[in-house]
A and B are shown apart, each in its own frame.
Chain A
Amino acid sequence: MKKVIALLLALVLTLGVLGGCSKGGDKTDMEYVKDKGTLIVGITDFAPIDYQENGEWVGFDADMAKAFAKRLGVEVEFKVIEWNYKINELNDKGIDVVWNGMTIADDVLAAMEVSNPYLKNAQVIVVKKEDADKYPTAESAKDLQFVVEAGSAGEETAQANGFNYKSAESQADTLMEVSAGTSDASIIDLLMAGATIGEGTDYADLAYTAPLNDEEYGVGFRKGSDLVSELNQFFKDAYADGSMMETAEKYGVQESVIEQ
């Protein structure tokens, strides 16, 4: 009897693991999303890309995601995820798409089906305001103690420049470190820096320097998903009819939009 139970348990576990890895039968990803009637968008709180206003998710990416769901004829649902687990969430079908100002990098390309780039971004060095003039270039900042978000484009930049750095769990944590003086500098997204530091924010004592490099944002789907070509077509149409620029202007990112 014990053996039978053990066998059953092993079977259930195996099925569970396989289920987690499979793409869910014969249906294409688009059919899967259309059948269930909702597009679940994985996001984090990241102004001006995805953030809440009066209880509703808005932002450049959020508004574009709403328009894309409308085109598919499904409801949109935003789900806040732990950024480090985005690939797991996608594969476990906790979400259908990662649409959150995701920098296109090798690891992202390896694990997801990624759209055409749609927004330019850059990494900037954040330091105390009074020190901002001292570090105009990456070279001048070589001796600083950096702090970056683990696994972020900022960490890659720090590695590429040979900076001495600690990793933290989020970009917001890195700002606290710089503000408290427990680290000298942080590297974060230009878009986030523009929205969260400087005059009129809680980090009025911080400032950011010139961009260190250029990078591009893309939208990530499950590996092999047919939704990606649909999205690329959607981007082309939205760029052509001006609605993409219109949305970009609404959130102040029009300078960064990439021609589709």
Chain B
Amino acid sequence: MFQEVIIALSEGFLKTLQIFFITLVGALPLGLIIAFGSMSRFRPIRSVMRAIVWVIRGTPLMLQLIAIFYGPGMLLGYNIWGTGNFGRNAAVAVAFIINYACYFSEIYRGGIESIPRGQYEAGQVLGMTRPQIFFKVVLAQVVKRIVPPMSNEIITLVKDTALARIILVYEVIWAGQTFIKKAGVIWPLFFTAIYYLLFNGLLTILFWYIEKKLDYYRG
């Protein structure tokens, strides 16, 4: 029994990890684009970006998943995701990447806006271009400032992956729950906590290490 549970939960957790990494790979850069959009000097872009961020952060991810996956079929009468598992995974990726990109974008924006004007001006008077100032002067300082809030958000993401089961993508919680239905035993469900704790423990150590690495300077 124990072995059977471990195998099933591990399979489920692989799916959890897949959702986690795909979301990060998509949302980290997309968040930066949204952050620039929401700071754009061109007002319409700024307004649209801020409205998107408002809607995405203002509604539950669970609802966004349902809307993205079932919406096309139920409202438009045309299901874009097909009936296979690939479509479900793709819908999860789209919903999670958009949702997390919006959260990340606000953290980026806060980080970028907290850099003193003097840093930009010092770069300007030395004849640097805008991209040079951003990438060579500002970015490293932003990274240092956003590591703590980003680590928070990323650890939340690990746990949010459990929502994927709403559209029948079977991650670790689902794997635990099936034992209640199949065999009437609850402990596998609670045992999933071990997986989350171990993985989040790893992430915590990683972020601690990054923070320490960036600790060589202040400001």
| Contacts from A to B (Cβ < 8 Å) | 84-85, 87-88, 107, 111, 145, 147, 150-151, 166-169, 176-177, 179-184
Could you write out 29 A-B pairs with CB less than 8 Å apart?
A: A84-B177, A84-B181, A87-B184, A88-B184, A111-B184, A145-B83, A145-B84, A150-B177, A150-B181, A151-B181, A151-B182, A166-B168, A168-B168, A176-B70, A176-B74, A179-B73, A180-B69, A180-B70, A180-B71, A180-B72, A180-B73, A181-B78, A181-B79, A182-B79, A182-B81, A182-B83, A182-B87, A183-B83, A184-B83
Residue B200 CB within 8 A of the other chain: no
Residue B180 CB within 8 A of the other chain: yes
Beta-carbon contact of B168 and A147 below 8 Å: yes
Chain B residues with Cβ under 8 A from A166's Cβ? 168
The size class of the interface chain B forms with chain A is: 20 to 34
Say how far A174's CB is from chain B's closest CB, in angstroms: 10
Residue of A nearest to B72 (CB): A180
Residue B178 CB within 8 A of the other chain: yes
Residue of B nearest to A86 (CB): B184
Chain B residues with Cβ under 8 A from A183's Cβ? 83
- Separation of A39 and B79 alpha carbons in the complex (Å): 47
Beta-carbon contact of B79 and A180 below 8 Å: yes
Residue B186 CB within 8 A of the other chain: yes
- Separation of A151 and B184 alpha carbons in the complex (Å): 10
13 further A-B pairs in the complex, CB-CB below 8 A; given A151-B181, A169-B165: A145-B84, A150-B178, A176-B70, A179-B73, A180-B71, A181-B78, A182-B69, A182-B73, A182-B81, A182-B87, A182-B88, A183-B83, A184-B83
Interface SS of chain A: helix, strand, loop or mixed? mixed
**Best-surrounded residue of A145, A147, A150 (most CB of chain B within 10 A):** A150
Beta-carbon contact of A85 and B73 below 8 Å: no
Say how far A83's CB is from chain B's closest CB, in angstroms: 9
Per-residue interface assignment for chain B, residues 144 to 184, with 1 indicating a CB less than 8 Å from any chain A CB and 0 otherwise:
00000000000000000000010110000000011011101
Residue of B nearest to A152 (CB): B181
When A and B form their complex, which 4 residue pairs have the shortest distance between CB atoms, in order from nearest?
A180-B73, A151-B181, A181-B79, A145-B83
Say how far A94's CB is from chain B's closest CB, in angstroms: 13
Beta-carbon contact of A85 and B168 below 8 Å: no
Chain A residues with Cβ under 8 A from B74's Cβ? 176, 179-180
Beta-carbon contact of B180 and A85 below 8 Å: yes
Chain B residues with Cβ under 8 A from A85's Cβ? 180, 186
- Separation of A125 and B173 alpha carbons in the complex (Å): 28
Say how far B174's CB is from chain A's closest CB, in angstroms: 9
Chain A residues with Cβ under 8 A from B168's Cβ? 147, 166-168, 177
Residue of A nearest to B87 (CB): A182
Chain A residues with Cβ under 8 A from B82's Cβ? 182
- Separation of A255 and B178 alpha carbons in the complex (Å): 34
Residue of B nearest to A174 (CB): B168
Residue of B nearest to A180 (CB): B73
Chain A residues with Cβ under 8 A from B71's Cβ? 180
Chain A residues with Cβ under 8 A from B165's Cβ? 169
- Separation of A85 and B184 alpha carbons in the complex (Å): 7
**Best-surrounded residue of B69, B74, B181, B186 (most CB of chain A within 10 A):** B181
Say how far A87's CB is from chain B's closest CB, in angstroms: 5
Chain B residues with Cβ under 8 A from A147's Cβ? 168
Say how far A146's CB is from chain B's closest CB, in angstroms: 10
Chain A residues with Cβ under 8 A from B83's Cβ? 145, 181-184
Chain B residues with Cβ under 8 A from A169's Cβ? 165
